């Protein structure tokens, strides 16, 4: 599919953090967007600026139910899923259902419409990795019955189903394994380190680090991620591709960086590490570089400044 062709895209989970940025990107490219979201973890505030845009349509729908859409669809981006530790601990059944039933329904739509398909998978398919950094060829180290297993295994199943639809039905499918991403529209209380640290720092509350803070993460700014995902969607490659920023740092260093950027004097406090929390997380993006000519462009300082500005505005509105 050509990047310049005006096409109709369905984005499941389109009112979520990543999904809403994808909707914006597709519209900016001149495409039409149908956003499906049941608003379980999504928020209409993320797409309210698109109200009245004749090229955008929002439908409130649970994608684990049958998806009926009249008219042509050229591409399905399946982003619907709870995607933070708090979400999938509070919504374990829904997380499993959207990974299994939701992926089945989204793939069924793509098959029926002869549309392309992209699955938003995750670095969590690697679990607590024994290989570092993580290449796509690594099969992972996942505890299937631990509290995080509902998300990890839902995404691993979704990948298996996507490949089955590609091999058996010939669906033009793609799989992106998304590493830690941050930016405006993150929910302040979703349990991820970026919104947690920024919210605490802006309110000058103690910044909570789990474990001793020596575990590592790699943070990609949302605009970079979405650009990479679109390149992958337009490619002819069907197996998983890592999209993320390989700049790795400890969680403790990251907390200190955010505290400084927010001008906070709050102390950093330490709490016990959650069960199965990954000790390291860093993408090997050699394949994305080779295949897509993609790598992140937005530096951490610049990305954090934009994100902190968003959260500061929420604080002024009393939304933090």
CB 202 within 8 A of CB 315: yes
Residues sharing a CB contact under 8 Å with residue 316, sequence separation 6 or more, in sequence order:
none
Alpha carbon distances (Å) from 146 to 89, 156, 182, 216, 288: 10, 15, 26, 21, 31
Which one, of 82, 97, 76, lies nearest residue 174 by Cα? Answer: 76
Q: What share of the chain is helix, strand, coil (3-state, %, to 5)?
A: 40, 20, 40
Q: How far is CA 290 from the centre of its chain?
A: 22
Task: Spot the catalytic one: 25, 88, 126, 151.
Answer: 151
151 is a catalytic site residue: yes
Return the number of other C-beta atoms located less than 10 Å from residue 260's C-beta: 11
Catalytic residue IDs: 151
């Amino acid at each position: 599919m050509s990047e310049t062709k005006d096409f109709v895209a369905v984005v499941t989970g389109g009112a979520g953090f990543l999904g809403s940025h994808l909707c914006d990107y597709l519209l900016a490219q001149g495409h039409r967007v149908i956003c499906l979201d049941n608003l379980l973890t999504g928020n209409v505030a993320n797409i309210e600026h698109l109200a009245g845009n004749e090229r955008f349509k929002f439908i409130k729908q649970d994608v684990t139910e049958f998806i009926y859409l009249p008219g042509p669809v050229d591409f399905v981006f399946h982003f619907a899923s709870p995607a933070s530790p708090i979400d999938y601990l509070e919504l374990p059944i829904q997380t499993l259902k959207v990974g299994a039933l939701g992926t089945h329904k989204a793939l069924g739509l793509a098959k029926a419409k002869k549309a392309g398909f992209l699955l938003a998978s995750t670095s969590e398919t690697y679990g607590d990795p024994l290989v570092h950094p993580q290449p796509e060829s690594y099969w992972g180290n996942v505890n299937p019955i631990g509290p995080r297993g509902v998300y990890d295994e839902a995404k691993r199943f979704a990948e298996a189903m996507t490949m089955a639809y590609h091999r058996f039905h010939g669906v033009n499918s793609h799989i992106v394994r998304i590493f830690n991403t941050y930016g405006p529209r993150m929910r302040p209380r979703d349990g991820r380190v970026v919104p947690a640290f920024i919210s605490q720092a802006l309110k000058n509350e103690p910044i909570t680090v789990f474990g001793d803070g020596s575990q590592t993460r790699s943070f990609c700014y949302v605009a970079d991620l979405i650009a990479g995902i679109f390149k992958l969607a337009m490619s002819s490659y069907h197996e998983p591709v890592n999209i993320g920023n390989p700049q790795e740092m400890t969680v403790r260093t990251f907390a200190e960086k955010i505290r400084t950027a927010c001008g906070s004097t709050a102390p950093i406090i330490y709490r016990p590490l959650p069960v199965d929390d990954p000790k390291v997380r860093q993408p090997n993006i050699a394949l994305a570089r080779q295949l897509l000519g993609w790598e992140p462009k937005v530096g951490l300082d610049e990305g954090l400044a934009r994100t902190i500005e968003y959260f500061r505005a929420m604080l002024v509105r009393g939304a933090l």
